Structure 1
Amino acid sequence: MNEVVVFAPSPVLTVTVEGHLNAADIHLHAGGQGVWQARMLLALGSSVTMCCVLTGETGQVLGHLVTDEGIRVLAVHRTGRGAAYLHDRRGGDRIHLADTQGDALSRHDLDEIYDLTLRAGLEADVIILSGPAGNDVVPADVYRRLAADLRATGRLVIADLAGDRLTAALRGRVSVVKVSDEELLADGRVRQNTVEQIVPAMHALQDEGADTVIISRAERPMLLLAGGMLSEVHVPTMQIADSRGAGDSLTAGVAATLASGGTIEEAVAVGAAAGALNVTRHGLGTGRAETVRSLRQLVCIYSMTELPGMTRSLTPDQLAHRVQRQ
């Protein structure tokens, strides 16, 4: 069916001031992790439903912007302050002027968004659990409950989360977890961004409740742990216009491919291509499917045992642990 649901509890209204012919050029867009994922999913041909809470004046604007892009929106509408930010790019660099994460969701809001997501998820092939705009907007345990309930119905669940929300989703069990090496470092799951430390952390994530683990590493090859096999994912290095949204495009590529019946290796290859394309663009979560398909042909996935020097980069204990897992 290729139906994907994105749990995006608090989308963000983004206001960016650009320079054009010595005058201010003001852009309003829907943004935030879930929006960027939904946008790339749509570009890749998936049917996308975004479940969210739209708050106050910013929420009214966001609802129109997202719907106008062709994304189906199931929303809880409420009063209050919604998430938004204001950036100035007239000098070339992005200058942060103001932002708000919006009001925390009430118990009633949480019940309603949970119901919407569960209902939509029962009709979908894949559900992505994405994070809110701020740490205090949604309790982490919501992610555990959603993951557990959706998996109980046989759905594929992808968690693109970090911190307490990642830990909670893992307790509910997920099909795929995607996290960056920087997030692993910030969460204290590794002390250094090295393969020697990341590999054991990947196994730990699997032990906590993830069937498959994907680690993005900026300009370095991604790491994949799936079916007991550890792999490196190589993609051409592209010139960066804006690195934000690359990880969300990666997640979208994985979800779109799995929803259409592809293997996890095919999904990661498409995701890597979508992420690589996204960094070349100023529009976050954007890109043409034809270009993604062309870049996908250049993505190479190598078993770690095939990489020169891989066994020398692991300690004896780490190597023994990996062999036992396989």
Structure 2
Amino acid sequence: MARVVIFAPAPMLTVTVEELRGEADVHLHVGGQGVWQARMLASLGVDVVLVCTLTGEAGRVSRHLLDEEGFRVEAIQHEGISPAYIHDRRGGERVAVVEAEGERIPRHALDSLYSAMLREAADADLVILSGPDGERTLDADVYRRLASDMRQLGKPVLVDLAGDRMAAALEGGVDVLKVSHEELVEDGRVDDGDDESQLLAAARRLAADGIALVAVTRAEAGSIVVGEQGAWRVVAPELEPVDPRGAGDSYTAGLAAVLAAGGDHAQAVRTGAAAGAVNATRRGLGTGDAEAIRAIAEQVELQELGADDDDDPEEC
């Protein structure tokens, strides 16, 4: 069984209020990018280890909830204010009641977290570096160090990051990059996130810097992928979404599941697109039926993109 280790520095306790038979129905889960990726990977039959910190009282509750998720958790527990949110969905839409990003990870806890990553990566087939929601949680340079050290250990590195964290990880060296079109705009790598030629050119520039596979997701528009095995426009069946949150992280998990098992880029991209599409049809973030994902993956079309399909403004 393929083994994936996920760096998820600060998962959050999530409280969601739904309506059931006219009454408030309260749900407690642990969320955040790395947790949603781990949940989908476990659904796809991958052996997953989540390396994280858990903070304060909310962290102690999160520990119990994570133990029921179906993947192994290596948690550094410490006192402080935890990331958490309370959302009210009784009206059919998410209404944020409380959204707390939590405190910065203390130095000693961060040292322990880093050591846990080194220890767990020793037996990994692939490592995912994911980010916290909070901007102040940890310095971006941690991602440079981790990416560099994971590759020194001979482990493929997949990053799903943006901004300074993505730039830092790229400096350390990565094998697979998943990034959204909005994030490329925010980073100043493209001017128009709806312009496919700009997205393709940006992906090619990133791949030219030594990244084996670059996947640019565009929500319902489908992803643009550039890698050592080709450049593709990814067209997946248009399933009606219930909640699009978590679809990007499910896409990342689908990529990781195939690549960790030694699969090729084409199958990884098809599985990623299918995992994202199936997750969007559900209310559980990072969830999906493995057989449904595999069935949808067979219907994902990869349209080849040639050298004439982009018009890089830097080369005009």
TM-score greater than 0.5 by the shorter chain: yes
Counterpart of 1:324 in structure 2 is none
1:133 positional shift: 2.1
| Amino acid corresponding to residue 187 of structure 1 in structure 2 | D
1:186 positional shift: 1.4
CA distance in 2, matches of 1:31, 1:303: 36
Q: What aligned pairs does 1:1-326 form with structure 2 within 5 A after superposition?
A: 1-193=1-193, 194-227=195-228, 229-305=230-306, 311=308, 314-315=310-311
Percent identical residues: 49
With structure 2 as the length reference, what TM-score do the two structures score? 0.96
1:99 positional shift: 1.2
Give SS of 1:276's match.
helix
1:206 positional shift: 2.5
CA distance in 1, matches of 2:229, 2:3: 28
CA distance in 2, matches of 1:248, 1:294: 19
Deviation sequence 1:38-70 (CA, Å, 0-9, x none): 000000000000000000011111111111112
Q: Is the 8 A contact 1:84 1:101 kept in 2?
A: yes
Deviation sequence 1:59-97 (CA, Å, 0-9, x none): 111111111112101011100111100000001111011
Deviation sequence 1:290-309 (CA, Å, 0-9, x none): 1001101101112113xxxx
With structure 1 as the length reference, what TM-score do the two structures score? 0.93
CA distance in 2, matches of 1:132, 1:197: 28
Give SS of 2:85's match.
strand
Unaligned runs of 5+ in 2: none
1:173 positional shift: 0.7
Give SS of 2:271's match.
helix
How many residues are matched? 315
Deviation sequence 1:88-147 (CA, Å, 0-9, x none): 000111101111111101221111111101111111001100001211101100101110
CA distance in 1, matches of 2:289, 2:204: 34
| Amino acid corresponding to residue 31 of structure 1 in structure 2 | G
Cα distance change on mapping 1:29 and 1:189 into 2, 3 Å: same
Give SS of 1:290's match.
helix
RMSD, aligned CA: 1.6
Cα distance change on mapping 1:164 and 1:208 into 2, 3 Å: farther
1:228 positional shift: 6.3
Q: Is the 8 A contact 2:56 2:81 kept in 1?
A: yes
Cα distance change on mapping 1:267 and 1:167 into 2, 3 Å: same
CA distance in 2, matches of 1:105, 1:209: 31
CA distance in 2, matches of 1:115, 1:170: 21
Cα distance change on mapping 1:67 and 1:170 into 2, 3 Å: same
| Amino acid corresponding to residue 192 of structure 2 in structure 1 | Q
Unaligned runs of 5+ in 1: 322-326
CA distance in 1, matches of 2:207, 2:262: 22
Deviation sequence 1:127-174 (CA, Å, 0-9, x none): 100001211101100101110011111111100000000000000111
| Amino acid corresponding to residue 235 of structure 1 in structure 2 | A
Cα distance change on mapping 1:246 and 1:125 into 2, 3 Å: same
CA distance in 1, matches of 2:176, 2:8: 17
Q: Is the 8 A contact 2:215 2:226 kept in 1?
A: yes
Cα distance change on mapping 1:319 and 1:229 into 2, 3 Å: farther
Q: Is the 8 A contact 1:171 1:209 kept in 2?
A: no
Q: Is the 8 A contact 1:3 1:48 kept in 2?
A: yes
